[in-house]
């Protein structure tokens, strides 16, 4: 007499034998149900299976867009004239879709939180040292220069006229230093707007030679500004 466990094992073993199918075996009804696996028509005609598998593989290769690996790629920055021409071209507009050059960039880092500072430099001995260089180093046609105003504006806040931090733009520290220098040059030459602080002076120190009535008038205006 078989125990309940042995009987269950024998029943499962017999069921698996019935469910087992091969290329040459025919599908048999089990417990009144016709078992038809989804690959039956491929098993019946192996040539169809090969064609379908090849077509599926070709379509998959066409759909997947492989990101270019920039590591150890020679880096040679373009000149200013070429950079400005590239900036106004259709290639640039189609690449960045009207967004800042750093908008679609994402930093690679380990852990949950990004480091407080970015990479020291993306270029060493004329080659890129990372497969994910910063937004400026990955495109050799982007040149930071005080005459390239439109590119500098991508890194300047339009409300405060301050430079975006590197934690937001993702540029390396080498390019960040160049950016700060070129922005200061552009500000000194009047190419970029800046906020000028408004100072209130004590006119007694500068206009003591004026008559008292004029000096009192200036002091009155000065006091009104200080109160406001």
What is the domain partition of the chain in residue ranges?
A: 73-189, 197-227
Rounded to the nearest 10°, the torsion over CA 16, 20, 26, 32 is 30
- Percentage of the chain beyond pLDDT 70 is 72
Report residue 217's pLDDT band, with 50, 70 and 90 as the boundaries.
confident
97-112: per-residue pLDDT in tens? 999 999 999 998 888 8
Whole-structure pTM value: 0.60
Helix/strand number for the chain, H first, E second: 9, 4
Per DSSP, the residues of 39-103 read: THHHHH-HHHHHHHHHHHHHHHHHH--PPPP-TT-B--PPPHHHHHHHHTSHHHHHHHTTS-TTT
| 39-54 pLDDT per residue, tens | 444 444 555 556 656 6
Q: For the segment 5-49, what is each residue's pLDDT rounded down to a tens digit?
A: 777 777 777 766 665 544 444 444 444 444 444 444 444 455 555
């Amino acid at each position: 007499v078989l125990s309940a466990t042995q009987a269950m094992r024998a029943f499962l073993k017999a069921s698996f034998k019935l469910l087992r199918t091969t290329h040459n075996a025919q599908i048999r009804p089990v417990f009144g149900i016709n078992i038809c696996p989804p690959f039956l028509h491929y098993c019946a005609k192996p040539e169809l299976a090969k064609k379908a598998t090849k077509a599926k593989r070709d379509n998959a290769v066409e759909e997947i867009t492989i990101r270019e690996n920039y590591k150890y790629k020679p880096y040679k920055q373009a000149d200013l004239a070429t950079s400005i021409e590239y900036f106004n071209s259709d290639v640039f507009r189609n690449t960045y879709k009207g967004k800042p050059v750093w908008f679609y960039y994402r930093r690679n880092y380990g852990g949950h939180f990004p480091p407080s500072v970015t990479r020291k430099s993306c270029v060493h001995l004329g080659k890129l040292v990372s497969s994910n260089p910063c937004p400026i180093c990955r495109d050799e046609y982007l040149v930071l220069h005080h005459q390239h105003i439109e590119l500098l504006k991508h890194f300047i806040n339009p409300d405060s006229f301050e430079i975006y931090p590197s934690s937001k733009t993702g540029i390396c520290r080498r390019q960040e230093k160049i950016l700060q220098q070129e922005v200061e040059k552009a500000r000194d030459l009047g190419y970029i707007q800046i906020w000028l602080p408004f100072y209130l002076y004590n006119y007694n120190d500068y206009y003591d030679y004026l008559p008292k009535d004029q000096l009192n008038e200036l002091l009155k205006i000065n006091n009104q500004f200080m109160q406001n």
